[in-house]
Structure 1
Amino acid sequence: MTSELDLIRPDWPAPDRVRAVSTTRLGGVSQPPWHSLNLGSHVQDDPQHVSVNRGRLASELAFEQGAFGWLSQVHGTELVTLPVDGVPVADASTTTQAGQVCAILTADCLPVLFCDRAGTQVAAAHAGWRGLCAGVLEQVVASFTAPTGEIIAWLGPAIGPGQFEVGPEVRDAFIATGDRAAEAFSTSGVRPGHFMADIYCLARQRLEKAGVSAVYGGDLCTVSDSQRFYSYRRDGQTGRMATLIWLES
């Protein structure tokens, strides 16, 4: 049977037992403005629709719904190790246990997946600009027992550099913490005093500084592709996509 879910599978040299996908908005039952595969339970969508959507995802990936490590994301740097009870307040998760799914919800913020080349640990991070600037990616890198040179990362669908207009306070915050952060900001074609930010570039800079040079992805824009992706910047009230990673036995 052909799947109705439009899943993105990272193009990166992960070990065979590392599996990862990023959902799009296609294949669910949610009604406008959340149509259709909304997986976020915090965006005022019908809870029954969210439950059906999460069930479809679980069925597609051959998991029980309890395998998903959903988080209550707050744009911070807290990391939890799965399995954990309930829905913890955190913006990153990691696990060494097969069958535990690290799950991040986004609609413009940057989802980042991690694994080591030996296939013994995986992790996922929610990196909006605040969490990225505060060090959420560095927290994830520090959680790995493998040397940083053995860690690889994948940057999932996020707001692209041609769409992410920010105020000077965002640029100033990054420049205060990164020597090369100014390279990720441009004044071209925006309101006076504002900047276009490249969150993919900023993430690569932070990862490189943390010792992770093998970084893949970073070529999808959630704002520009309204058919495939949710975008809070574009639509305001909208759904959430999930970016997931796990280890197989």
Structure 2
Amino acid sequence: MTDWLIPDWPAPVGINACVTTRSGGVSVAPFDSFNLGDHVDDDSAAVAHNRSALNSRLRIQPAWLKQVHGIDVVEAAPAEVLQADASWSKTPGVACTIMTADCLPALFCNKAGTQVAAAHAGWRGLAAGVLEATVDSFADVPSDVIVWLGPAIGPQAFEVGPEVRETFMAKHPEAADAFVPGANAGKFMADIYQLARLRLAAHGVTAVYGGGLSTFNDERFFSYRRGARTGRFASLVWIEAR
């Protein structure tokens, strides 16, 4: 048995989503146990076993990405690993897949249930507009797109410098509300969920769900800030194959 998460959002019938956790795999410490990242120095055979188990359990074809903290959005392609930080799909059984260990994973679908997407939003990608770019991959108006925000580093653990605050405030002055002074002089504690909701709202997205699960505090998830040598969990969304 695993403790994987099923997002609680009003997705249309036929839209499925899942977030893996650290449990259910074969990787050994510090990647224990369901590490899906093939770029973190885990044993390659263990990662391959975990990925195969993911495919079998969910009966999907994950489309993995080489994530680079950018804003490129590509069509999900299970046969190759594309360099991008978001993907979209209209093909049943193909899962848009994001790997994280503190960054924000965001899952998308349209209200018609004909398209899904997933985005990887660290603060750089979030500030650069990766969520907005993902919304724009839909032909639908933004108000017809539904978003679920997955587990990410919580505001009690996400310490950033003043340059991060200034970057967000340069486009949205109201982003100041997402930063509070930290314990260390000149530093701020950032609420990545609040920042994501602000960016989405400004882009016309009104249906945003999820948020609030901190990867740093919840040991079900891998967290880079809790231990830099760590694995990656996945957030996936797909149209059910009929």
TM-score, length basis structure 2? 0.97
| SS of 1:174 mapped into structure 2 | helix
| SS of 2:106 mapped into structure 1 | strand
**1:170 maps to 2:164:** yes
**1:231 maps to 2:223:** yes
Separation in structure 1 between the aligned mates of residue 38 and residue 122 of structure 2, nearest angstrom: 19
1:21-170 correspondence runs (5 A): 21-63=18-60, 67-83=61-77, 85-170=79-164
Q: Which runs of 5+ in 1 are unaligned?
A: none
In the alignment, which residue of structure 1 is the partner of 2:4?
A: 7
Q: Give the residue type in structure 1 aligned to 2:30.
A: P
| SS of 2:225 mapped into structure 1 | helix
Q: Is the 8 A contact 1:7 1:21 kept in 2?
A: yes
| SS of 1:215 mapped into structure 2 | strand
* Equivalent of residue 208 in structure 2, options 179, 203, 215: 215
Q: Give the residue type in structure 2 aligned to 1:218.
A: G
Q: Give the residue type in structure 2 aligned to 1:195.
A: F
| SS of 2:48 mapped into structure 1 | helix
Q: Is the 8 A contact 1:165 1:190 kept in 2?
A: no
Deviation at 1:50, TM superposition (A): 0.3
Q: Percent sequence identity over matched residues?
A: 56
**1:205 maps to 2:202:** no
Separation in structure 2 between the aligned mates of residue 167 and residue 199 of structure 1, nearest angstrom: 14
Deviation at 1:124, TM superposition (A): 0.1
Q: Do the aligned partners of residues 85 and 60 (structure 1) sit closer, same or farther apart at CA in structure 2, a change above 3 Å counting?
A: closer
Separation in structure 2 between the aligned mates of residue 168 and residue 47 of structure 1, nearest angstrom: 39
Q: Is the 8 A contact 1:12 1:216 kept in 2?
A: yes
Separation in structure 2 between the aligned mates of residue 83 and residue 44 of structure 1, nearest angstrom: 24
Separation in structure 1 between the aligned mates of residue 103 and residue 134 of structure 2, nearest angstrom: 17
Deviation at 1:5, TM superposition (A): 2.5
Separation in structure 1 between the aligned mates of residue 52 and residue 148 of structure 2, nearest angstrom: 25
Deviation at 1:230, TM superposition (A): 0.4
Q: Is the 8 A contact 2:63 2:79 kept in 1?
A: no
In the alignment, which residue of structure 2 is the partner of 1:247?
A: 239
Off by >2 Å, runs of 4+ in structure 1: 82-85
Deviation at 1:85, TM superposition (A): 4.5
Query: Number of paired residues?
Result: 241
Q: Is the 8 A contact 2:98 2:236 kept in 1?
A: yes
Q: Give the residue type in structure 2 aligned to 1:231.
A: S
Separation in structure 2 between the aligned mates of residue 22 and residue 89 of structure 1, nearest angstrom: 21
